[in-house]
Chain A
């Protein structure tokens, strides 16, 4: 694999992991604009656990502990943050990310504004399997009882309460597990590039990740995957085509095209690319075939 493709694959994998971290709360209708905060926590915690100046733990253990650490913080702040709704929640998560960035940038032990070198290295052979595992985990998660509860909260919170769903607990769980996934993505980022600085994880990153999820659709677990794959590969593909064809303005302005696409998608398909209806329709053919064979079996017996 060429170096360029490999670097793009890494970016894609990390984006997918981040996107699933945002997707889990979004699946219950909670918009989290604080991705950068959790990614920062994960990246720095894992780097510190692993560093020779820190706890000097093996790399897999430090990634795991970083997930627990971020999950713990997410669990604690989820109670006050989930008291807020809608735009207030967007603002609160956003403020949380800014507070994390502001604190990290002032801790000398974490390299302050200059950034922090990370010791252990993880390359593509680790990151790709982990990403696949995360994807499978999220598909499984959304099919569990909790995942179904999240879907029902997403569609109508009051009705979900009436049917005995513990809304608060489900939301806290989604928020915490999402934060742990983002922490995992952050530690993989740190261990791959071996250098982290808080400025990389800025509000633009949070916005982009939220966009991947909302563009892909929050109704099914396919959403973040499709969103991230589409929005990482298409601008790069446009750039490649435009550069080889010598259209300079297209290569430079491809993100303008991306922005225009977002606006148009919201006009024509506000629920995101992948919806439950579309999923049913796509799998409908297979289901019908199964149904007929069951009917045939019933007739034969």
Chain B
């Protein structure tokens, strides 16, 4: 029974990883680079949610208190986090993807947006550290500790809600990529940006949309993280994102469904290894698995070889 309980916990934890993994996989699949602003945006959304709920935003706390009252500040938190992250994503797009192409041919040119996104990661982390400090920040969950149990297996209700929510968001997203006009444009850009321009895709307008979508994915999962685990700090993004990267690679780079399954699997693997071999050793199975996959089957379980082979 305990094992099943651990599997359930792992599935819930995987729900957090799924959205971040999907964000990573979208950027890699569409734009061909590893976006290190994703951990920053995730962390920033989580911290903003915490700050709004506890009234420690740099400004505007009184206004939020006036409009939403103490009990409904979590709604304000969601709004603040989503809006801020969407705006931040646009700024980030301006300074990363736009400069992807180096003026002089250079083998490390594909690293340019990677390096800029690391720059943004540093900016966000130190902004949070200098505003809220580097200690863990704890907020009380607005929904309490509601649980639901089948037999002896306990489900936490906020976690079920967030797992369902993240799955719905991701399913909608993958339908969008498959079926809509925007999705078709995205796939064209993923195939070859130059040809996409010739085919009449407005790359300069579509790429910001990708950034905002991934930014919102991070923001939603960051907000859910604060509600579920109630403790955040400036470095929470790094921890979550590194595991999410493992999930993404497992599913195959650029593959949305792969990222979903990979994220859930990695969540379960993490919880199971903590349960079986202890918290300190839990890293080894995850990263060992990642290393093995990268070396022997770099396309992951469901990935296709096209994306990420040329430039990256």
* In the complex, chain B residues 294-312 whose Cβ is within 8 Å of any chain A Cβ: 294-295, 298, 308, 311-312
Residues 19-63 of A, flagged 1 when their CB comes within 8 A of B and 0 if not, give 000000010110100000000000000000000000000000000
Contact A266 B116 (CB under 8 A): yes
Contact A211 B118 (CB under 8 A): yes
| Given known A106-B284, A256-B130, contact A214–B108 (CB-CB < 8 A) | yes
* In the complex, chain B residues 29-78 whose Cβ is within 8 Å of any chain A Cβ: 32-34, 36
Contact A263 B295 (CB under 8 A): no
Count of residues in B whose CB is under 8 Å from the partner chain: 54
| Given known A29-B107, A84-B294, contact A98–B283 (CB-CB < 8 A) | yes
A34 to chain B, nearest CB (A): 10
A214 to chain B, nearest CB (A): 5
> Is A70 at the interface (CB under 8 A from chain B)?
no
Contact B105 A155 (CB under 8 A): yes
* In the complex, chain A residues 219-249 whose Cβ is within 8 Å of any chain B Cβ: 219, 249
Contact B253 A87 (CB under 8 A): yes
| In the complex, chain A residues whose CB is within 8 Å of the CB of B107 | 28-29, 153-157
Q: Which of A91, A207, A259, A262 contacts B294 (CB 8 A)?
A: A91
Cα-based distance from A210 to B108 in the complex (angstroms)? 12
* In the complex, chain B residues 269-284 whose Cβ is within 8 Å of any chain A Cβ: 280-284
Contact B126 A154 (CB under 8 A): no
Interface residues of B, dominant DSSP: helix
> Is A260 at the interface (CB under 8 A from chain B)?
yes
B96 to chain A, nearest CB (A): 8
Cα-based distance from A8 to B114 in the complex (angstroms)? 29
| Given known A92-B295, A256-B126, A271-B102, contact A86–B119 (CB-CB < 8 A) | no
Contact A263 B119 (CB under 8 A): yes
> Is A5 at the interface (CB under 8 A from chain B)?
no
Contact A88 B115 (CB under 8 A): no
Which of the listed residues A87, A106, A253 has the most CB atoms from chain B within 10 Å of its own CB? A87
Chain A, residue nearest B245 (CB)? A91
* In the complex, chain B residues 241-285 whose Cβ is within 8 Å of any chain A Cβ: 242, 245-246, 249, 253, 280-284
| In the complex, chain B residues whose CB is within 8 Å of the CB of A260 | 119, 123
| In the complex, chain A residues whose CB is within 8 Å of the CB of B242 | 94, 98, 203
Contact B290 A91 (CB under 8 A): yes
> Is A105 at the interface (CB under 8 A from chain B)?
yes
Contact A103 B121 (CB under 8 A): no
Which of the listed residues B108, B111, B112, B312 has the most CB atoms from chain A within 10 Å of its own CB? B108
B225 to chain A, nearest CB (A): 19
Contact A85 B312 (CB under 8 A): yes
> Is A68 at the interface (CB under 8 A from chain B)?
no
> Is B110 at the interface (CB under 8 A from chain A)?
yes
Cα-based distance from A148 to B290 in the complex (angstroms)? 33
Chain A, residue nearest B238 (CB)? A203
Contact A218 B108 (CB under 8 A): yes
> Is B135 at the interface (CB under 8 A from chain A)?
no
| In the complex, chain A residues whose CB is within 8 Å of the CB of B93 | none
List 9 A–B pairs whose Cβ atoms lie within 8 Å, in order of A's numbering: A84-B295, A87-B114, A99-B283, A102-B280, A105-B281, A157-B107, A207-B36, A210-B118, A266-B115
Q: Pick the 7 closest A-B CB pairs, nearest first.
A: A29-B107, A262-B119, A259-B122, A259-B123, A86-B312, A102-B283, A98-B287
